[in-house]
C-alpha cells in the first residue's frame, strides 16, 4: 500500500503549497505531481530538437542556438505560469503546425522575412489574448462547426507530415515537372531517416509512452556512429556526383554553448519586423488570423482532450481554470515571438503526465523547471538537429493529428465537401491559411445550397466573406 502523508501531517509551508495548487483537493499527492510533471516533460521535450532544427534550416535560416534558447525559455516560463496562474497540469511550448506554417507558408511561400513573421505572430497572439479576455473567443468557437475544426486539425497533421518527409528527402520535388515523387534511395541520410520513422512507428504501435524522444536519441546515435564508420572507410556513399558530402551530420566537435548567443539576434527580430515596410501588406491579415485561430483551435482541443481525464470538468460542463489557461497561452505566444520562436500553445502530450497521476499546477511547475534546466544540455541537442534525425517527429505528430478524421461526419454530404477541401487545399497549396479559408468559404456555400441559412453563425458568414474578398483583391492587385 502506498505510504503518503495527509495534508495535516505536512509542514505549514507544504500545507500552503498543497492548498494553493489544490493537490489534496483534487485527489493527488506530491509524488504523483512530480512524476506527472516529469512524464509530461519527457513526452514534450522533443520540441527542443525539432523546433530549432526546423527554423534554422531553409527557408527561414534563423540562428539555431537562439531558437533553442527561446524554445526552452518560453516552454519553461509558460508552463510554470500555467501551473501557478491557471493551476492546470498542462505543458506549453512552440506548437507543431504553427511553426510549420511560420516556416514554410509565411516565410517560404508568402515571402516574409522571419523577422516580419515574428511580428505577425505577436499580432496574432495579441488578437488571441483580446479574444480570450473579452469572451469573444466563445462566440468564435460557436461559429466554427465541430467538423470544420476537426478537418483543420487533421489537415495540419497531413501538412506537417508532408514537410517532414520532404525535409528527410524521402519525398522529393521535381521543379521542372512541378511534381512530387519518391526518393531514389541513393542518399544514406534517407536510410537513416527511414530507420527513425520505422523505430518511431514501431514504438508508437506498441504503446510506448516516450516514443519521440527515444526515437530521436536512438536515430542520432546511429547516425553519428554510421557517419564515423563511413568517414573512417572513406566510403563513396558519403559523396554525391557533385562531390558534396551526403552525410553532413553535426559532429560532436560542436559540443559547446557558443550558439546560445544567437538569442541576441532572435530576440530583436520582431523589432526589425515591425519596422519593415514589407510587413504591412494586405495578406498580413490572413497571416494574423491564421496564427490566432490555429492557436485557439489547438488549445481548445487540448483542453477538451485532457480536462476529463484530469477530473477538471465542472458540473455545468465547463473546464476548471480554462479561462486563465487561455490567457496564459495567448500571453506566451506574444512573449515567445519576442524571444524568437512562433506560436506557443498547450500540448496534448500533457495527457501523458495526467495519465501518470498529475492533477494540479504543481506538475506544470515541475515540467517548466525541467525545460529551463534543459538549457544546460544545449550541446547535446545540437547533435540531434538534423532533419534526418528529427523528421520522424513531424511524421508521427501528423499520424496523431490525422486520427481526428474518424470523428468527422463523412456521411453528410455538406460535411464531406468542406472537410475534404480544407485538407486537400491545405496540403497541395502548401498553406494552412489557404486550407482554413477554403474550409470557411465552402462551409457557407454548402449550407446556403441546402437552404440552412439560419444554422450558419453570423461570424462564419463574416469570415467567409473576408476570405472571398481577400482572394478577389489578390487577383486584382
Cα separation of the two ends of the chain: 72
Segment 239-254 shows an average pLDDT of 54
* Burial environment of residue 1 by CB neighbours within 10 A (0 to 12, 13 to 18, 19 or more): exposed
Cβ atoms 155, 440 nearer than 8 A: no
* Burial environment of residue 424 by CB neighbours within 10 A (0 to 12, 13 to 18, 19 or more): middle
Look at residue 352 and tell me whether its pLDDT is greater than 90: no
**Residue 319 phi, psi dihedral angles, 5° rounding:** -100, 130
pLDDT of residue 2: 45
Q: What does the alpha-carbon distance between residue 248 and residue 223 come to, in Å, rounded to a whole number? A: 10
Q: Which of 124, 144, 127, 131 is nearest to 458 (CA)?
A: 144
pLDDT tens sequence across 310-328: 888 777 666 788 889 999 9
Cβ atoms 96, 397 nearer than 8 A: yes
Q: Which of 245, 210, 218 is nearest to 45 (CA)?
A: 210
pTM for this prediction: 0.80
Look at residue 3 and tell me whether its pLDDT is greater than 80: no
Q: What does the alpha-carbon distance between residue 395 and residue 157 come to, in Å, rounded to a whole number? A: 8
pLDDT of residue 335: 97
User: Residue 264 half-sphere exposure, CB side, CA atoms within 13 Å?
Assistant: 4
Distance of CA 460 to the CA centre of its chain: 25
Segment 269-283 shows an average pLDDT of 94
- In sequence order, the β-bridge partners of residue 180 are 173
In percent, the amount of the chain with pLDDT more than 90 equals 51
- Sign of the dihedral defined by the CA atoms of residues 438, 441, 443, 446, in that order: negative
pLDDT of residue 249: 56
- In sequence order, the β-bridge partners of residue 174 are 179
Residue 297 or residue 240, greater confidence: 297
Sorted by where each begins, the domain ranges of the chain are 18-146+251-385
Q: Give the H or E element holding residue 263.
A: helix 263-266
pLDDT tens sequence across 174-228: 766 667 889 988 888 899 999 999 999 999 999 997 888 899 889 988 888 877 6
Look at residue 280 and tell me whether its pLDDT is greater than 80: yes
3-state secondary structure of 60: coil
List the Cα angle 268/273/276 in 5-degree steps. 130
Q: Note if the bond before 297 is cis, omega within 30 degrees.
A: no
Distance of CA 368 to the CA centre of its chain: 17
Q: Which of 187-191, 289-293, 446-450, 455-459 has the highest mean pLDDT?
A: 446-450
Segment 254-278 shows an average pLDDT of 92
For residue 252, name the pLDDT band (cuts at 50, 70, 90).
low
In percent, the amount of the chain with pLDDT more than 70 equals 90
pLDDT tens sequence across 130-169: 988 887 777 777 788 889 988 988 898 898 899 889 888 8
Amino acid at each position: 500500500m502506498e505510504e503518503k502523508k495527509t495534508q495535516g501531517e505536512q509542514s505549514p509551508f507544504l500545507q500552503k503549497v498543497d492548498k494553493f495548487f489544490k493537490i489534496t483537493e483534487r485527489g493527488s499527492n506530491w509524488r504523483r505531481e512530480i512524476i506527472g510533471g516529469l512524464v509530461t516533460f519527457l513526452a514534450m521535450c522533443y520540441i527542443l530538437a525539432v523546433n530549432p532544427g526546423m527554423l534554422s534550416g531553409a527557408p527561414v535560416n534563423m540562428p539555431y542556438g537562439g531558437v533553442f534558447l527561446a524554445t526552452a525559455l518560453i516552454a519553461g516560463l509558460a508552463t510554470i505560469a500555467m501551473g501557478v496562474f491557471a493551476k492546470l497540469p498542462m505543458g506549453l511550448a512552440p506548437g507543431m503546425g504553427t511553426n510549420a506554417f511560420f516556416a514554410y507558408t509565411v516565410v517560404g511561400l508568402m515571402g516574409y522575412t522571419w523577422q516580419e513573421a515574428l511580428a505577425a505572430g505577436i499580432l496574432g497572439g495579441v488578437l488571441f489574448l483580446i479574444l480570450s479576455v473579452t469572451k469573444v473567443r466563445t462566440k468564435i468557437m460557436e461559429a466554427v462547426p465541430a467538423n470544420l475544426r476537426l478537418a483543420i486539425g487533421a489537415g495540419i497533421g497531413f501538412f506537417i507530415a508532408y514537410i517532414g518527409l520532404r525535409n528527410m528527402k524521402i519525398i522529393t520535388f521535381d521543379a521542372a515537372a512541378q511534381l512530387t515523387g519518391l526518393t531514389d534511395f541513393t542518399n544514406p541520410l534517407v536510410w537513416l531517416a527511414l530507420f527513425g520513422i520505422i523505430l518511431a512507428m514501431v514504438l508508437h504501435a506498441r504503446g510506448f509512452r516516450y516514443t519521440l524522444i527515444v526515437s530521436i536519441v536512438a536515430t542520432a546515435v546511429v547516425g553519428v556512429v554510421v557517419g564515423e564508420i563511413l568517414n573512417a572507410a572513406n566510403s563513396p556513399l558519403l559523396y554525391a556526383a557533385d562531390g558534396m558530402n551526403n552525410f553532413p551530420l553535426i559532429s560532436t566537435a560542436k559540443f559547446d554553448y557558443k550558439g546560445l548567443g544567437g538569442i541576441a539576434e532572435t530576440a530583436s527580430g520582431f523589432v526589425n519586423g515591425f519596422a519593415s515596410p514589407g510587413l504591412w501588406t494586405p495578406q498580413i491579415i490572413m497571416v494574423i488570423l491564421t496564427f490566432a485561430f490555429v492557436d485557439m483551435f489547438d488549445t481548445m482541443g487540448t483542453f477538451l482532450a485532457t480536462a476529463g481525464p484530469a477530473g477538471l470538468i465542472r458540473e455545468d460542463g465547463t473546464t476548471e481554470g480554462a479561462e486563465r489557461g487561455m490567457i496564459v497561452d495567448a500571453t506566451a505566444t506574444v512573449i515567445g515571438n519576442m524571444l524568437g520562436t512562433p506560436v506557443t500553445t498547450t500540448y496534448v502530450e500533457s495527457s501523458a503526465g495526467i495519465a501518470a497521476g498529475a492533477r494540479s499546477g504543481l506538475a506544470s511547475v515541475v515540467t517548466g523547471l525541467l525545460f529551463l534546466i534543459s538549457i544546460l544540455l544545449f550541446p547535446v541537442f545540437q547533435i540531434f538537429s538534423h532533419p534526418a534525425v528529427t523528421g520522424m517527429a513531424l511524421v508521427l505528430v501528423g499520424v496523431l493529428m490525422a486520427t481526428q478524421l474518424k470523428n468527422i461526419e463523412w456521411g453528410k454530404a455538406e460535411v464531406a465537401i468542406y472537410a475534404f477541401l480544407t485538407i486537400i487545399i491545405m496540403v497541395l497549396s502548401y498553406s494552412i491559411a489557404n486550407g482554413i479559408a477554403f474550409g470557411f468559404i465552402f462551409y457557407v456555400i454548402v449550407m446556403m445550397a441546402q437552404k440552412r441559412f439560419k444554422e450558419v453563425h453570423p461570424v462564419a458568414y463574416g469570415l467567409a466573406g473576408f476570405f472571398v474578398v481577400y482572394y478577389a483583391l489578390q487577383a486584382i492587385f
